[in-house]
Structure 1
Amino acid sequence: MLQAIGLTSAHRRDLPPAVDDLTFEARPGQVTALLGADGSGKSSALRLMLELEPGRGITYFRGNPLHRIAHPAREVGVLLGDVPGHPARTARGQLRMLCAAAGVPVARADEMLDVVGLAGLGAQQLGALSRGMDRRLGLASALLGDPQTLILDEPGKGLAPRETGWLYTLLREHAEHGGTVLCTTSDPREAARLADHVVTLDAGRLVGDQDAREFSRTRLRPRVAVRTPHTARLAAVVQREARAAQRSVEVVTEAGNRLSVYGSSCAEIGETAFRHGVLVHRLTDEIGDTGLAPPPAGDTEAAAGARPTPPAGGPPPLPRPATSPVRPLRYELLRFLGVRTPAVILAVVLLVSLACCILLARSRTMPLPVVLAAWPPFFPLPPAAFGAGLIGALSFGEEFRHPALATARGTVPRRLGLLMAKLTVTATAALLLALVVVVADAQALRVVYGSDVTDLPRNWPALAAGWGGLSVGCAWAGLLAAGVFRVTAAGVAAVLAVPIIIAPLVQKAIIGPSVRSIAGISGRLRELTWVRLPRQADDLVMAGVRVLAQPVGAALVLSLSVLICAYMVTGLRRRAPW
């Protein structure tokens, strides 16, 4: 049982709310159609029910509000618009990523591809799917968690008759197995053909709540549509002649100089208008009511809002925080590896690094660490560090937003588990990128200039730790900045700001004669912690201190500290910002 009670969208300046005090029920074992013309508030009503928009009211799914359901994707399957995802991701990869988000076995993806008739198209990319295939994949996404309730926004819009018939059959089968189906439509005939119950909206308000048979009887009768500047006169003569002939004729006056005449024909209305000299601009037979007439007298109570009784306990506050994947690390790995973007970044970074490395090595004055890092003096960052920052920034790109409730576009999830998964994956990718670049540059130097130019310095562990720290720091800076501002470009800008803006400021702050020395800090730390550290650990501690003392290292640490605080304030608080 789905119960929507008092749904009202947020106030819009100088405009009425898109949804105004909407209350209705969708029962299990039935298909319920939410009918209304474009702009009537159908989509807004669904988003209010799913708590994806701010507003008042509450929706209960089998007695529980959505934010109290432990695994929403297993209770509610959603299809709002097209399938959101990177166009280069495959259909199978998309479903497997959603399996990790919903906490269901990965094998469920292939099962759903078979159910919706896409078993042979699992390797097809999302950007290459036709409209019908996209709808099938969207329905497979909604069914991944085997939900009791399906909510779909215009599922048959733009589909061919064959695809529409298949879709209606699948929805009917879900309802026959005890599920609840709620879908929107703007076509009254489609609503009568598909649904067991029809809820009609007009300007965001409930104007009809009827059984499908009653809806067909009252709303889909044959009628004669008339447009005339003399509506009152023509309505009077038609009713007078019908009473004289003892025929049952109903005349409904509508807006825009229109009449709807039920129980007559075009020939009879045309002859009546001719006999009485009434000018007629339009006269046609119609079946189906594209307008929204008031409900019949018998449905007054339903339309007026015979409100469902909410479960005990009262409605909790809205809005709710966005949900996070149930298995965040698996979700992030599937998201990261599901597209070719990381491979493209690696290839570009490797080519640029090799070119810079070979050119820098021509001058014997360049230190070997600078040559291996491929960091010319005029580059703000080495290519590997910038590539790592780009990978981090893409983690919160719009195409990678976690699809709340299967496929609905919601806010970026900012739970701690998903953040830790993203940090882990991006750090691993940054370290691998840094390692591949250094190894490739070293091999290139040996091939071009001989083996004598790649002799490692004695402090190579400390240099390696600093190189890895720079790459991971840039990756995390890009990730956190993109997560805070919800824009990929913000992550890239944060990475570039470290050497271009923040490092010079830090350098100015710390410039000046040094009167104290940090020599012996490792020994003092050993005395403080009562732990005897090996000589190599002392070297690593000193290397870390030296890195932090450099302007770029200090600027990177400062940037990460600020971004972590900003992320905590904006993303991990109890209420998610809208």
Structure 2
Amino acid sequence: MLQAIGLTSAPRRDGPPVVDDLTFEARPGHVTVLLGAPGSGRTTALRLMLELEAGRGITYFRGRPLHRIGHPAREVGVLLGDVPGHPARTARGQLRMLCAAAGVPASRADELLEVVGLAGLGDQRIGTLSAGMDRRLGLASALLGDPHTLILDEPAEGLSPRERSWLHGLLRAHAAEGGTVLHTTADPKEAARAADRVVTIDEGRLVADQDVADFSRTRLRPRVAVRTPHAARLAAVMSREARASRRSVEVVAEGGSRLSVYGSSCAEVGDAAYRHGVPVHQLADETGDAGPGAAHPGSTGAGPGGGPSGGPSGDPGAGPVRTVLPGPASTVALSHLPPPIPVRPARGPLRPLRYELRRLFGVRTTVLITAAALIVSASLSVLLARSGRTPLPDLLVAWPDLLPLPPAAFAAGLLGALAFGDEFRYPALAAGRGTVPRRLGLLVAKLVVSAGVALLIALLAVLADLQSLRLVYGEDLSAVPDNVTQLALSWAGLSVGCAWAGLLGAGVFRLTVAGVAAVLAVPVLVVPLMRKLFEVPSARSISGLPGRLSELGWLQWPYGADRWALVAVRVVAQPVGLALSLSLSVLICAYAFTSLRGRARW
């Protein structure tokens, strides 16, 4: 059961809150529709329930608020707007990535593609899906964790009548298995067709909470639509005859030459027009909405309630629309303000490493960037070797003086920036709740995966450059340098450092461009500053530091570690290594600061 109590959005600067003290419930085994005109606060109410928007109130999902649920995706399935996936990712790849986030087997993706009718379109790109297919994929995303409650915002928007019928059938099947379904709509007729219970809101306030039978009786009334050039005259005739015969007839001027006549029939309206010589251009039976937002300006005859006594549907004994609060909510005495609703981001993917691997290799971007980096690196290496003035280490990594970074290192930084940049641009994790979480496990997974990809690109670049040099110039350039260990560590450190700089920069500023800027800032800004520092003569040297560390009684060095420690110290002591270390330290502190500041607002 879903119970929403006292939902109130944060008040706007120039007006009242969008949602004001909204209380209702959605019962298990039923389809509940939140009905309201555009701008009535339907979407804001859903966001308050899911703790995506600050305000006041509380929502219980089977007796627990959402932030108390260990695995929200397994309790609540959400669809707000379009599927937040990378347009180049396939439908199956998107679902498999979300399976890792929800902690369910990857086979669940194929099962749900079959359920929503996309089994034959699993390899189609998200960006090429039609509106109907996109809604089906969004529903599959909401069902991934086999949730008890479904919360959907306008799930039938843009669908054909056949697709709407299929959607309502699927939601009905979920409710028949004991699940709770809550979705929004602006169409009263759709609410009457699809719902067991209809909660009507207007300007953020509860107007009515009715079962579908009461809703249809009080809100959906048959009417006769009339078009005539003498609308006012026909309205006066119909009202006068209704009073004379003591019948409950309501005539509403819709504007221009259009009338809506409630409590009558086409035959009666046509006969009245014929008797009084009023020409009629249109006469048809329709079903009208008599609820909030369906104002009828210029109405004549009976009042807006229906008959002379205010009853709906021409029933003199019927009363006005009643506001019926559900049992548990109606017994709650809101003597104090409801508790605040802080914005709490989701806890992140349950399997972060698997999620990150599927995110990285689910699109062609990774392969294309890697291939482009290798081609450019091999071409530059051949061009640099032609002059004969470039040292062999620079040839093997294709690093000319005019470039701030080698192509392979820049590619590693770009992929690192995309790791968080695409995450915020196409927030797949927001399908459950909130923005991309700043979770330590997700950060560690991205650091590990980006480091592995950076090392792979660095190795492939060296091999590609070496083979290109051998192919073009023969075996003359294949000699192994004496300090190969230090060079290998320097090259690996540069590649991994660039990847991490791009990753952390994009994570702090939530932009891929910011991550790329953080990568380029190291050779363009930080390295020149470090070189100026190194130009100052030094009175002391750190040589012998590994030996002095090994003399400490509490630190036991393994055999041969002195040489490796000295190599590492020399790598870090270089201007580029020191600049990278300094930049990464600053980015890590900034990432930690923004994460802690975000938690302080939760």
Q: What TM-score do the two structures reach when normalised by structure 1? A: 0.90
1:295-338 deviation line (CA, Å, top 9, x unaligned): 974643427999356799x8575222332111111111111111
Q: How does 1:309-328 map to 2 (within 5 A)?
A: 318-328=342-352
Cα distance in 2 for partners of 1:396, 1:470 equals 20
Unmatched tracts of structure 2, length 5 or more = 295-303, 306-311, 313-318
Given that 1:354 and 1:440 are in contact with CA atoms closer than 8 Å, whether structure 2 keeps it comes out as: yes
Given candidates 329, 344, 354, the residue that maps to 2:368 is 344
Q: Flag the 1:160–1:359 CA change in 2: closer, same or farther, 3 A.
A: same
Mapped pair 1:520 → 2:544: yes
CA RMSD of superposed structures (Å):
3.3
CA distance in 2: counterparts of 1:209 and 1:257, whole angstroms: 35
Q: Point out the more displaced range, 514-523 or 262-271.
A: 262-271
Q: In the alignment, which of 356, 379, 391 is matched to residue 355 of structure 1?
A: 379
Equivalent position of 1:206 in the other structure = 206
Using the TM superposition, give the Cα deviation of residue 452 of structure 1 relative to its aligned residue in structure 2, in angstroms: 2.9
Match of 1:300 in 2: 322
C-alpha change, 1:3 and 1:303, in structure 2 (3 Å) is closer
Letter of the 2:222 partner, please give it: P
Note the C-alpha offset of 1:289: 0.9
Q: In the alignment, is the contact (CA less than 8 A) between 1:415 and 1:572 conserved in 2?
A: no
Contact 1:320 1:576 (C-alpha < 8 Å) held by counterparts: no
| Superimposed CA distance per residue, residues 260-286 of structure 1 (whole angstroms, 9 cap, x where no aligned partner) | 542035786688799999999999753
Q: Does 1:444 align with 2:431?
A: no
Following the alignment from structure 1 to structure 2, what is the Cα–Cα distance between the partners of residues 257 and 20? 38
Asked if 1 retains the 8 angstrom alpha-carbon contact of 2:151 and 2:183, the reply is yes
Counterpart contact for 1:461–1:540, Cα < 8 Å: no
| % same residue | 68
Q: Partners in 2 of 1:23 and 1:461 — Cα distance?
A: 68
| Letter of the structure 1 residue corresponding to residue 507 of structure 2 | G
- 1:158-557 equivalences in 2 (<5 Å): 158-224=158-224, 239-250=239-250, 261-265=261-265, 286-289=286-289, 292=292, 297=319, 299-302=321-324, 307-308=329-330, 318-398=342-422, 401-404=426-429, 407-408=431-432, 410-528=434-552, 530-535=555-560, 537-557=561-581
Aligned-residue offset at 1:467? 0.7
Task: Judge conservation of contact 2:198–2:209 (CA < 8 Å) in 1.
Answer: yes
For 1:139, the equivalent position in structure 2 comes to 139
AA of the residue aligned to 1:123: D
SS in 2 for 1:206: strand
Structure 1: gaps of 5 or more residues? none
Equivalent position amino acid for 2:35 in 1? L
Q: How far apart are 1:449 and its partner, in Å?
A: 1.6
Q: 1:515, CA displacement in angstroms?
A: 1.3
Deviation at 1:56, TM superposition (A): 1.6
8 Å CA contact 2:504, 2:587 repeated in 1? yes
Please report how far the alpha carbon of residue 241 of structure 1 lies from its aligned counterpart in structure 2 after TM superposition.
3.3
Question: How far apart are the structure 1 equivalents of 2:569 and 2:601?
Answer: 38
Code of the aligned partner of 1:450: G
| Match of residue 297 from structure 2 | none
Whole-angstrom distance in 1 between the partners of 2:54 and 2:19: 11
Looking at structure 2, the residues matched to 237 and 165 of structure 1 have their Cα atoms a distance apart, in angstroms, of: 42
- Checking the alignment, whether the CA contact within 8 Å between 1:321 and 1:576 is kept in structure 2 is no
Counterpart Cα distance in 1 of 2:54 and 2:223: 41
Q: How many residues align?
A: 575
Is it true that 1:10 corresponds to 2:10 in the alignment?
A: yes
Does the 8 Å contact 2:239/2:251 carry over to 1? yes
* Secondary structure class of the residue paired with 2:289: coil
- Answer with 487-496 or 114-123: which moved more: 114-123
* In structure 1, distance between residues paired with 2:321 and 2:422: 45
Identify which range, 197-206 or 268-277, moves more after superposition. 268-277
Q: Please, what TM-score do these two structures have when normalized by structure 2?
A: 0.87
Quote how far apart the aligned CAs of 1:507 are: 2.7
Structure 2 letter corresponding to 1:85: G
User: 8 Å contact 1:5–1:308 — kept in the other structure?
Assistant: no
Q: Assess if the C-alpha contact under 8 Å between 2:374 and 2:461 holds in 1.
A: yes
